[in-house]
Amino acid sequence: LAAVDPRVLALAAQVTESREQDIPLLLLKLKGILNSASLEHEESKKIKQDIYNYDLTQYCMLVLRQDHSRLRGGWATAAQLAEILSHCCVGLEVTEDPEEFYKKFLPSAIDNLLVLGRRLQARFIRAIKDEEKQDFLRWFQTVTDAICWLFGGHIQLAACVLQNDHFLQLLITDDVETAIIMMSVLHSILRVNSSVLLQVDEETLHSVLDELVYKLSSTTNPVVGNAATKLLLLVAKLCKQLVKLLTARYKGLKGLLSKQWTGKGFDRDLSQLLDLLDLEQSSGKAEMQRQHQAACIIQATWRGFQTRKRLKKLPQAVTALQRSFRAKREQELQHLKKQKEDEALKLQMQLQRQRAMRLFHERQLALLEIIHASQVNKYMEEMEGKSALTIQRFWRGYRARRNFHQQRQSLKEYKAAVVIQRAACKFLEKRRRRRPLSSWKDPKGLTDEQRLALQQKVDDYIKLHPASQMSEEMSKELHMQAQEKLAQFLLRSRLDQRAAQRRETLLAQVNTDVELLMNAPGLAEITEKDLDVFRSPSIPVATKARQSHNTMLKYTRCPWWKKLGDEFVEDDVVPDDALNAELGTLFIGGRK
């Protein structure tokens, strides 16, 4: 085994021992190691192998995911790390576990580079100053060059880049500079792998072609139009199937190209693309006519076959029609027969009921003849009383069941309303929590000069009105004052609560004494037992408690028909109006 490069070994040790915020600046030393002038091809491959074995490339890939606006070096360091990562991966031959490198590490590197590109693109669009916009555009160009270098060294990554959602979002932009750069990346992908559009799924292919056609229809910038036209021409030259897709999916593309982009400086590429579309359209028309004639022949043959088949089956159809008619007539006869049997049975039951009633009346008359004449009225009164009781019992039962069902239905409706309200409140609360914050939108109609003037006014206002800062001593003093006031408030509230309890106790005792004085007998009629009532406060309390206990026992012993209106009241609950008179003046001794 060859010795490890000492520079790589020292750098790996520094990265391991350093803080997280210092790692990006340390990894920049890899650029000097890779760009050493004395390196040959084999030695360069050995250096890249050592960098990968000591996980320095993994560090570079993980650093790209971070927010570099808060790290040392900023976005310039991120762009340089993207370039270093691409150079470390191209030309690297992994001998140990190559499947992890090609199927996991390289796709993750592509994804991280595209995420970094999206962040740079967003900050370039939001930037106001020209210097910042130029810096972000330069760094964005560096990252896209690194992506092109990476899939240029590993051709299988071209389909991975094209199918990545971040690449489609980078391509779908209204900014001219970044759109041109992304179309150049797409051009490089098609140059590296000409069959990549046939390898991706249909949705990705349609999204890319839709964006190119949209750029041709929505802009008048000749640079964007030239880039989009060259891409469509390259797509048409690489695969004839895609030419058919362009003519079938975008029927007005030919007219759009000839009317809007003729004479804009790229007529040569435009004429080649129009010729390819015309050729495909003419061949498509001939193919369509041939298919139309073939379809007419097939339809005529099929109709003739169906007619001959129907004529052959005509006797069978007549037989089937007769069979179904006879079966339907048999069903009707069976139904009439069953209906007659049901009517005869009903008539027979009615006759049996009349015969039974007649026999019952005859027996009653015979019984009346046997009873003595003086006992007839008494017997009739007993029968009428029993009949009345029976009728009343059935009526009360019916009324009780009806009231019970009505109240049960109202209770069900009330519970259902509660459930619906609870579900609606939960749904509204969840939607209120999930409601996203409205994204910031730049003010429309402001020019760069107006934005700079507004920024200057904001800076001047901040200088004139600086924010007040509180020292640590003042903060502690304020905290102590708040604690003292809180303790005073809690002590005062506890004293007020005790005073309120004392007032309620005295008021209850006064009410009890007043009631005893109102109900006391006169001085001429007073006895020693009445004097004991005023001497001991426990006697009136016991008397009132006994009365309330008797009232509760009386309520629980009530018959069931007096409680029909209280089906939904618990068994151990007594109505308030039954105890108000007994417990309203009862004194419960409190704490003094």
The 3-class SS string of 254-296 reads HHHHHHHCCCCCCHHHHHHHHHHHHHHHHHHHHHHHHHHHHHH
Which two three-digit tokens encode residue 395? 């009526």
Helix (H) or strand (E) holding 547, with range, is helix 538-556
Residue 515's pLDDT is: 78
More confident residue, 474 or 36: 474
From residue 105, give the alpha-carbon distance in Å to each of 26, 55, 91, 162. Answer: 22, 11, 15, 17
Percent share of the chain, pLDDT over 90: 13
Residue 225's pLDDT is: 83
Q: How far, in Å, CA of 7 to CA of 5, rounded?
A: 6
Whether 348 shows a pLDDT value over 90: the answer reads yes
Residue 252's pLDDT is: 74
Whether 450 shows a pLDDT value over 60: the answer reads yes
Residue 403's pLDDT is: 87
Q: How far, in Å, CA of 47 to CA of 42, rounded?
A: 9
Confidence of residue 563 (pLDDT cuts 50, 70, 90): low
Residue 480's pLDDT is: 92
Cβ–Cβ under 8 Å, residues 197 and 239: yes
Whether 421 shows a pLDDT value over 80: the answer reads yes
Residue 347's pLDDT is: 92
Residues 6+ apart with CB under 8 A from 112: 61, 62, 64, 65
Whether 429 shows a pLDDT value over 80: the answer reads yes
Instruction: Work out whether the CA dihedral 579, 584, 587, 588 comes out positive or negative.
Output: positive
Instruction: Provide the Cα torsion 542, 543, 544, 548; round to 10°.
Output: 100
At residue 512, what is the residue type? T
Whether 585 shows a pLDDT value over 80: the answer reads no
Residue 66, phi then psi, degrees to nearest 5: -80, 165
Confidence of residue 544 (pLDDT cuts 50, 70, 90): low
Residue 588's pLDDT is: 43
> pLDDT tens digit string along 157-169?
888 888 888 888 8
Cβ–Cβ under 8 Å, residues 219 and 225: yes
Which two three-digit tokens encode residue 271? 């004429």
Whether 396 shows a pLDDT value over 70: the answer reads yes
Cβ–Cβ under 8 Å, residues 110 and 151: yes
Whether 389 shows a pLDDT value over 90: the answer reads yes
Whether 33 shows a pLDDT value over 80: the answer reads no
For residues 48-75, average pLDDT: 77
Residue 436's pLDDT is: 63
Residue 263 Rama label (left phi>0; alpha psi -120 to 50; beta): left
Helix (H) or strand (E) holding 135, with range, is helix 130-153
Confidence of residue 539 (pLDDT cuts 50, 70, 90): low
At residue 167, what is the residue type? F
Q: How far, in Å, CA of 276 to CA of 280, rounded?
A: 6
Whether 591 shows a pLDDT value over 50: the answer reads no
Whether 362 shows a pLDDT value over 60: the answer reads yes
Cβ–Cβ under 8 Å, residues 253 and 213: yes
Q: Supply the DSSP string of 285-343, one letter for each residue.
A: HHHHHHHHHHHHHHHHHHHHHHHHHHHHTHHHHHHHHHHHHHHHHHHHHHHHHHHHHHH
Residues 6+ apart with CB under 8 A from 207: 168
The most confident of the ranges 97-101, 212-216, 482-486, 517-521 is 482-486
Residue 27, number of CB atoms within 10 A of its CB: 23
Residue 285's pLDDT is: 58
Q: How far, in Å, CA of 75 to CA of 136, rounded?
A: 8
- Each residue of 348-379: b (16+ CB within 10 Å) or e? eeeeeeeeeeeeeeeeeeeeeeeeeeeeeeee
Residues 6+ apart with CB under 8 A from 531: none
Whether 27 shows a pLDDT value over 80: the answer reads no
